[in-house]
């Protein structure tokens, strides 16, 4: 159940968090369809519940979680982070794939 009280202070009461439009929501309640996690316990990914997001980011330095209205929005948020943070790794993987494709095409032409 979502409360109708709005948060007037900087920190919510014990057992609550500040949700959409400043409303207080009971901890553990899902207020979004999907949650994006960056640098979480299991890497950057999308999870389905607020509880799962908290489990991913708790105790992990620089981990961030955020709620979204759709899985697509959460995935785009995670993808944007991955592309921004790992350009050298992505370039190396693309080069490796290109080399494998060229090798495969060469092998097929010899058949």
Query: Where do the structural domains in the chain lie, given as residue ranges?
Result: 1-29, 32-109
SS3 11: coil
**In the predicted model, what is the mean pLDDT of residues 21-29?**
78
Residue listed under structure tokens 């994006």: 36
Kindly report, residue by residue over 55-73, the tens digit of the pLDDT.
999 999 999 999 999 999 9
Kindly report, residue by residue over 98-111, the tens digit of the pLDDT.
999 999 999 998 87
pTM of the model: 0.62
- As beta bridge partners, residue 65 has 37
pLDDT for position 1? 46
Could you tell me what percent of the chain has a pLDDT over 70? 90
100 or 6, greater pLDDT: 100
pLDDT at 2 over 60: no
**CA atoms of 81 and 86, how far apart (whole Å):** 8
**In the predicted model, what is the mean pLDDT of residues 41-50?**
95
The edge-to-edge listing of strands for the beta sheet with 23-26 is: 2-6, 23-26, 16-18
């Amino acid at each position: 159940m979502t409360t109708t009280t709005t948060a007037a202070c900087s920190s919510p009461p014990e057992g609550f968090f500040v949700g959409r439009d400043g409303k207080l929501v009971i901890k553990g309640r899902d207020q979004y369809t999907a949650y994006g996690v960056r640098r979480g316990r299991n890497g950057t990914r999308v999870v389905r519940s607020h509880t799962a997001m908290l489990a991913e980011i708790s105790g992990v330095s620089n981990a961030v979680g955020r709620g979204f209205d759709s899985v697509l929005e959460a995935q785009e948020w995670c993808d944007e982070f991955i592309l921004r943070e790992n350009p050298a790794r992505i370039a190396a993987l693309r080069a490796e794939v290109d080399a494998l494709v060229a090798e495969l095409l060469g092998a097929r032409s010899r058949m």
